[in-house]
Structure 1
Amino acid sequence: MSYLQPALTFLDWFKTWPGTTFHEHIEIVDLRSRGAGRGIVAKKDIAPETVLFTIPRQAILCSTTSELATLIPGLKTGDEKEEDKEDDKEDDDDENENGQDPWTSLILIMIYEYLRGEKSPWKAYFDVLPTVFDTPMFWADSELKELQASPVVGRVGRKEADEMITSKVLPVIRAHASVFFGSNVPLADDDLIQLAHRMGSTIMAYSFSLEKDDEDDEEQELPKEQGEDVDMMDGVEHGDSHDDHEHGPGCSHEHDHEDADGWVEDHDDQQPLGMVPMADMLNADAEPNAHINHGVEALTATSIRAIKAGEEILNYYGPLSNGELLRRYGYTTEKHAFFDAVDLPWELVQQKLIAELPGLAASDGDKISKMLADDEDDENDMEDPIMLDRDFEEDETTGQLSAPASGRVLAELPPALKKQARAFAKIASKRLQKKREKEKKEEPPVSKNKSGKYGKYGKAKVAPKEEVPRPDKEIAAAGILAAFKVRLAQYKTSLDKDEAQLQSMAASATSLSPSQSRLYAALRVRIGEKRLLTEAIALAKEALEEQKKPATSTKSKRNSRAMDIDEPSGKRQRM
């Protein structure tokens, strides 16, 4: 069987659903030479606002279309009994009487339909879904170490996913073994767990978040732009990560939604989920040329700008950093570097601020941070961790991205960081001042010695010179700089070394082994994060130098206020 045959069979199956359309000027092609698996390409020039394909809602695999919801009463989210609602008012409102949420409900549905084989209406669809995922959840420990100090490492979520499967998925399957297995021999627990992981990862990579329409009681798709983290998971994993996908520098294949790795931690949306055939056949990138529109009766893929013959149709999964793209979908792209981000834990900043304030105890620092977090008068909540993300320029007409003319990836330090550090330093300085004044009052009076003189050697005892308090802004700037230096030092290799290694692998990136491909992705992630931290250090140094300068002129006074300026950002919100 040729590589494309399952996709062509899938296309024929797709067209049998009433209400589907597939534009005559597009086709499913083999894009492995680009490191992108299967994808959809324009055969002829396509004008903007052209409907590329249409997916009727009855073709969506979800709790309202699979018969499993009728075979296991209450499986469908939202069908809980009234008495259960009363008893569990303080529990998760979106869990039904079987303890299922939208994620586990769809996992059960997919396991059921997959085990049905030829009997399932979605058999041809399952045949083009990936069986292997490249997200960090499935990496070896040695491969995960290549991510070094990236925040991605702490969000893999394999343990949590195992716990969810064993507590919510397996008990339902065992209790309804005849429904899931029929006359076949039931799978062993280990095999079911692996299958559940595969389905959970598929959901993360390809599913859509569906919202119920209160007026007509039909399910509707929540547009991705409305911002729920789980809403449009239309996965481009199809393009790329169908079985033979290899990730490389030209990989524009988007694997859907919230990471397939730690998918369990990303199920907070709690809207019903569904698998949307054909929408997830599109690959995606940071500069899309198509968009999925969500109607009551159907979903449509529409071109958002002119697409030339031979050009791939690309969807958009949101402004995801390469770290998030890897965590959710198992790949990275060059263009998603525009959305790169890295975290700076407030605890680290607090430690370095305390170090700038001799005499301030760690416990005092904890109290001050709690005070800031609990401050109801503050307009903005305290951020922790504080995120650094890249600056870029965007053509609002075409959605295309470019680096800023300055050449910097970071234009300014996060306003929240400056504000919190300044507020902490101000409170801490006052506490220290009060402590010193109290200690001074409690000092015993100086008495004369036997010679009638003051002091041990007959000399008058001279009171120590009063220490001039450092400005709060200077303390804040020094603490921020120290924190950034420590954060960068948590990565085991230098930025220069990483960039050289990535460059050496780039020429053969589409033919790397699976392990090398993972290293390539890890390099791309940690390079983006290190670039941000490196420029943050440079900015923090500049800020500290400005704070140390005497404010003797209008210009220097203006610069000394840099730590307090909260400029609005015009960038797309990163995830």
Structure 2
Amino acid sequence: MTSDPASTNFLNWFTSIPGASISPKCALTTIPGRGRCMVATTDIDEDETLVSIPRNIIFSVEKSPLHNIMGEQLDAMGPWQSLILCMIYETRPGADWAPYFGVLPLTRDQELDTLVYWQDEELEVLKGCEILQRIGKDEAEAMFRDDVMPVIQRNRNLFEGTCIDFNMLEDSVIEWGHKMASTIMAYSFDVQRPGAADADMAMDDDEDIDDVEEPDPGNAFKGMVPIADMLNADIDNNCFIVQTNTHLEVMSVSPIRKGDELLNDYGSMPQAELLRRYGYITPNYAQFDVVDLNHKIIVKAISRHAPPEVVEGMDQKVDFLLDTEVLEDIYDLDRDFKPPSELYVAIKILSLPTQEFLQLKAEDKLPESTSSSEKKEYKRILAKVIAARLEEYHPDETLESLNLPANEKSRRRMEMAREVVRGEKEVLRDLLSKLH
């Protein structure tokens, strides 16, 4: 169905590998706003094998040609750093994996829409969203400078002719480090080794760029899986990926009509995380939206109207409650959130005069529960806390009257950001209505 040279070259490469196959019932194509993906060319029944991917075609550090040259050095590095280096090495002319890397968004900046590439004015729309703290751009660039660049410098002969420009080494390493890391974040899988107890395979959906711990290397490894990583996802998925000892297979889990897109499932991922990792959102994931509530907002809300004898020494109460885990550092508020009884106990203790708190603590008589009348009062306080959290976002009128730019990419980004904020504010407002 698709006719661009990169896709044709990739498909010729893929199908030339023994054991690799694509059903004639589906095809690779490009959909505006969705990127390169797969669609059904005819009706597909449930439980059909659509793509068969031999394990030897999965790109990983172990399978990389670079590993044959400097395997010991790569094995001593973290999984992100080593995989980035191996991917950079494959950008040299005539590289073994060049047809595959040619269809990934590595040389086409217009397809990279993850948050690390957003401009400040685009990110500003997300004011109040915790996801802004998880972009990790500065941490990533420090990793590129400290871990990736020295290896390239020491092995210049290996990386000459790759995407790296040695005349502007640091800038080039940072540029390509971001491209490779964004590609890993959006496309990689945690692949189970043959015979591992857990045969499920999922997108690498719980790891940040600065989290360099890999799943148990005896059971799994981080890999790039051709074809499988080109499937977009939705909660109403119509296919999934299964593993055997020799292959990974894309299977249909429901009938798929001609022309419909083949969709995998990312699991219960909030829209904000979808945007951070993949650069797009879908309303079907709004049901998983989550808002973080830092304990500091609770403390601030109580302190705002409390008398001096309660506010003085507040840090002692906070430290005690955090240490005893009565108070959590951060609460994840989702659409089904119900305030735990411990939270009301924490509010009760935080509202005590400090001297009374110290005396009760010394006598080991601190309250461990709240009465129904007390809980009613603490619900009122919690409602103020939720209202204060809402104030951290842009007001509705500001969001709805955004001066959207003419540039299509920036407009799309700001519209997606606005939808993320709407979803998170809806979570808070639903909780607020339950507290009143």
The equivalent of 1:186 in structure 2 is 166
| Aligned-pair CA distance for 1:284 | 1.3
Change (3 A) 1:37 1:428: closer
How much is the aligned-residue C-alpha RMSD, in angstroms? 3.1
% identical equivalent positions: 32
Contact 2:298 2:385 in 1 (8 A): yes
Structure 2 counterpart of 1:127: 102
- Structure 1 residue 501, shift from structure 2 partner: 5.5
* SS of 1:277 mapped into structure 2: coil
Change (3 A) 1:371 1:471: farther
Match of 1:427 in 2: 349
Give distance in 2, aligned partners of 1:328 and 1:304.
25
2:135 counterpart of 1:156: yes
Max Rg structure = 1
Equivalences, count: 415
CA distance in 2, matches of 1:200, 1:348: 34
Task: For 2:141 and 2:427, locate their aligned partners in 1 and report how far apart those are by CA, in whole Å.
Answer: 34
1:152 Cα deviation after fit: 1.4
Q: Is the 8 A contact 1:429 1:472 kept in 2?
A: no
SS in 2 for 1:491: coil
Q: Does 1:170 align with 2:168?
A: no
Unmatched runs of 5 consecutive residues or more in structure 2: 361-370
Q: In the alignment, which residue of structure 1 is the partner of 2:376?
A: 474
Q: 1:474 to 1:181 in 2, by over 3 A?
A: same
User: Hey, what does 2:363 align to over in structure 1?
Assistant: none
Identify the range of structure 1 (131-140 vs 184-193) with the bigger mean alpha-carbon deviation: 184-193
Superposition map of 1:435-514 within 5 A: 471-494=373-396, 498=399, 500=400, 513-514=408-409
How far apart in 1 are the matches of 2:391 and 2:184?
Answer: 36
The alpha-carbon deviation at position 360 of structure 1 amounts to 4.6
Q: Tell me the distance in 2 between the aligned counterparts of 1:367 and 1:522.
A: 38
Of 301, 312, 317, 1:368 maps to: 317
Alignment of 1:317-332 (within 5 A): 317-332=266-281
CA deviations over 1:223-282 (Å, ceiling 9, x no partner): 35xxxxxx524xxxxxxxxxxxxxxxxxxxxxxx568xxx42344445531111110111
Match of 1:523 among 411, 418, 432: 418
Distance in 2 (alpha carbons) for counterparts of 1:489 and 1:427: 25
Distance in structure 2 (CA, Å) of the matches to 1:15 and 1:362: 69
Residue 431 of structure 2: aligned partner: 536
* Equivalent residue in structure 1 for 2:80, among 95, 103, 120: 103
Q: State the one-letter code of the partner of 1:186.
A: F
Amino acid at match of 1:39: C
User: Which of 88, 93, 104 is the aligned partner of 1:117?
Assistant: 93
Give the alignment of 1:25-36 within 5 angstroms. Answer: 25-32=25-32, 35-36=33-34
Aligned partner of 1:42 in structure 2 is 40
Deviation of residue 520 (structure 1)? 0.8
The code of the aligned residue for 1:421 comes to L
Cα 1:428/1:384, change in 2 over 3 Å: closer
Match of 1:201 among 182, 186, 192: 182
Q: Is the 8 A contact 1:3 1:30 kept in 2?
A: no
> 2 CA distance for matches of 1:4 and 1:385?
48
The answer to whether residue 18 in structure 2 is matched with residue 18 in structure 1 is yes
In 2, Cα distance between the equivalents of 1:327 and 1:258? Answer: 12
One-letter code aligned to 2:344: R
Distance in 1, matches of 2:177 and 2:190, equals: 19
| 2:317–2:354 contact (8 Å) kept in structure 1 | no
- 2:203 aligned partner, one-letter code: M
Per-residue deviation, 1:350: 2.4
One-letter amino acid of the structure 2 residue matched with residue 232 of structure 1: M
> Is the CA contact (8 Å cut-off) linking 1:4 and 1:38 kept in structure 2?
no
**Residue 346 (structure 1) shift:** 1.4
Aligned twin of 1:341? 290
Cα deviation, residue 212, structure 1: 4.6
Tell me the distance in 2 between the aligned counterparts of 1:526 and 1:430: 35
Q: Deviations over 1:313-336 (max 9, x none)?
A: 001112111111111111111212
Q: Give how far 1:337 is off.
A: 1.4
Q: How far is 1:355 from its partner? A: 4.4
Letter paired with 1:283: N
Q: Which amino acid aligns with 1:518?
A: R
Partner of residue 388, structure 1: 333
Q: Normalising to structure 2: TM-score of the pair? A: 0.86
| Distance (whole Å) between structure 2 residues aligned to residue 347 and residue 273 of structure 1 | 37
2:72 and 2:211 map into 1 onto residues whose CA distance is 23
Task: Give the distance between the partners of 1:351 and 1:185, measured in 2 at CA.
Answer: 50
Q: Deviations over 1:186-208 (max 9, x none)?
A: 35221122111111111111111
Within 1, Cα distance between the matches of 2:253 and 2:212?
Answer: 30
Partner residue in 2 for 1:232: 203
CA, structure 1 residues 154+278, in 2 after alignment: closer, same or farther (shift >3 Å)?
A: same
CA contact (8 A) 2:234 2:284 kept: yes
**C-alpha contact (below 8 Å) 1:26/1:40 kept by paired residues:** yes
Note closer, same or farther for the CA distance 1:512–1:26 as it changes in structure 2 (3 Å cut). farther
Does structure 1 retain, via aligned residues, the 8 Å contact 2:20–2:54? Answer: yes
User: CA distance change for structure 1 residues 28 and 428 in 2, over 3 Å: closer, same or farther?
Assistant: closer
Unmatched 5+ stretches in structure 1: 78-95, 225-230, 234-256, 391-411, 439-468, 542-575
1:535 to 1:185, Cα distance in 2 relative to 1, 3 A: closer
Which string of whole-angstrom CA distances, capped at 9 and with x for unpartnered residues, describes residues 366-424 of structure 1? 3333333333xx7xx8543211223xxxxxxxxxxxxxxxxxxxxx5x33x44233111
Q: Secondary structure at the match of 1:75?
A: helix
Shift of 1:527: 0.7
Tell me how far 1:163 sits from its aligned partner: 0.5
Alignment partners' CA distance in 2, 1:471 and 1:352: 20
